[in-house]
Structure 1
């Protein structure tokens, strides 16, 4: 068993400069792609290219207009703000009680497999493409699309050269995944603050693919959900449905079932925090060039000791070189097909 993490927030972020710059802003609850900037808590998003096509990208920027990487420039730990933008007087020092920033990639009940483009400069959100075709997850009865808001924790990385001592598998080369179980349906690119509740260890084609279970800190149920046992007690069947979803979602594509470490049992909040901290340390090594980045793009504007740090002008040039926004293409009716397995 891993040693329990006891780490001050200040120490976690010490070598890095990234911080949210302004207080929380109202969030628009629309899912339809838009060329207009959207408020995503401390950040805005800007759409480029054509939705429902391989060219579509969602870029991130601060309210000051500086383009950033959601992977590298948005901090892992969330900072709560007081009214009028006054910084909080005291930050929670124990990571077990901290809130985390989550980047929403896929809204609940939708099918497009949107993801942070780790191999592209500034790491915009895009729709995954397989053999030249946009990827959509199948509807495996009784589920419609993703059954939670799905996304990732910034400043984390599942190192493919690191073999986990519990799963005996290496990392999947991505930020750590999050299933947010709150009642709000989010939109791609939204940045929310979440409470971590537990974690599931999925083994995907021989790689460790952790799935953090979390809830939006603003959700009405958040005060009552503090650990994975609270989810099991108050939402009967939800965790079982999560395992079933991950086990079967690739079957309609002709792939085998996914497997899980720990016999498919969820680990508790303390264990989840340890995994998050480990992937955060791997990310630090990545952006400081202490680990082999391979094809991972590490351009950022705020990580202090990173050799990949660039100027705001360079970041702006990356976005402006992307195709201009166009109206969305239609989606095939095949996306709504049910699969009974």
Structure 2
């Protein structure tokens, strides 16, 4: 069953939480936003969607490496051709970086068929200074529009699909497509850009049925969201860069707010893909 929400602007999103929250300066301890009642999602038999396979081209750990995605014999874009909504309250997400690895892999949104590649800076492959402790990836058919500023955090989108931090117990496969249950979202501010981090759990994780909102994560994964916030806050500091900041008073916003964010970014994507919003960022729409 598809999910449909009314599109909310930045101000309406803030009213859903009920207060202005972005503050400059030192990051305060995480606070959990209150939850709202909703229907439990039904776990699927397997969270990985096996209809999609991957093909690697170029040597690993090289600038030429790319991982493309196929659906049967057809090469497809994981950003454009995998649906966002997976039914039963679940979303599809693509795992770019399996847990306990450090290579900074990402979907190349400016290349045809948007393959997964390793990020590059100053001609060199990028690695995190230490392993990431969760599976990390992106939501297809979403886009954080750099031309739209969220008035509560005074930052525009980062020009990428929405990121997912998947907290389940299993290690994901790079390029794997999974069904996940979204449970919360953090509003990270990275170099002045709004970079949402959706907290989700694989639909077939043993604890998935227990986690339906932020307070459930705190109960069944105590301290985990704070660990996510601190990891993303601090990961650039070993390179001499300042800590990232978080909007909304460092809260992990609840499931209802999360779904509004996802719907807004999906609608921004639809406008981009349809041409209703000019492709001024020279992204690949195929």
Q: Quick check: TM above 0.5?
A: yes
The CA distance in 2 between the partners of 1:25 and 1:76, in whole Å, is: 17
Q: 2:61 aligns with which of 44, 47, 52?
A: 52
Greater strand fraction, Structure 1 or Structure 2: 2
Asked if structure 1 preserves the Cα contact closer than 8 Å seen for 2:207 and 2:220, the reply is no
CA positional deviation for 1:166: 2.7
- Given the two structures, how large is their TM-score scaled by the length of structure 2? 0.83
Residue 146 in 1 paired to residue 137 in 2? no
Partner residue, 1:161: 147
Asked if structure 1 preserves the Cα contact closer than 8 Å seen for 2:45 and 2:204, the reply is no
- Given the two structures, how large is their TM-score scaled by the length of structure 1? 0.70
Asked if structure 2 preserves the Cα contact closer than 8 Å seen for 1:24 and 1:41, the reply is no
The CA distance in 2 between the partners of 1:188 and 1:233, in whole Å, is: 29
Asked if structure 2 preserves the Cα contact closer than 8 Å seen for 1:25 and 1:42, the reply is no
**Greater relative contact order: 1 or 2 (C-alpha under 8 angstroms, separation 6 or more)?**
2
Partner residue, 1:298: 285
Q: 1:113 aligns with which of 100, 104, 115?
A: 104
Distance 1:297 1:178, change over 3 A: same
Which one is further off, 45-54 or 235-244?
Answer: 235-244
Residue 228 in 1 paired to residue 195 in 2? no
Q: 2:237 aligns with which of 237, 242, 251?
A: 251
Measured against aligned partners, the alpha-carbon deviations of 1:54-83 in whole angstroms (never above 9, x if no partner) come to: 1111101102x111110000000114xxxx
Secondary structure at 2:226 match in 1? helix
CA positional deviation for 1:51: 0.5
What are the ranges of 5 or more consecutive residues in structure 2 without an aligned counterpart? 1-11, 17-43
Q: 2:123 aligns with which of 132, 141, 144?
A: 132
Q: What's the Cα RMSD here? A: 1.7
The CA distance in 2 between the partners of 1:197 and 1:247, in whole Å, is: 20
Larger Rg: 1
What are the ranges of 5 or more consecutive residues in structure 1 without an aligned counterpart? 5-22, 28-39, 80-91, 93-97, 140-144, 300-341
The CA distance in 2 between the partners of 1:221 and 1:171, in whole Å, is: 32
Measured against aligned partners, the alpha-carbon deviations of 1:199-221 in whole angstroms (never above 9, x if no partner) come to: 00000011100000000001111
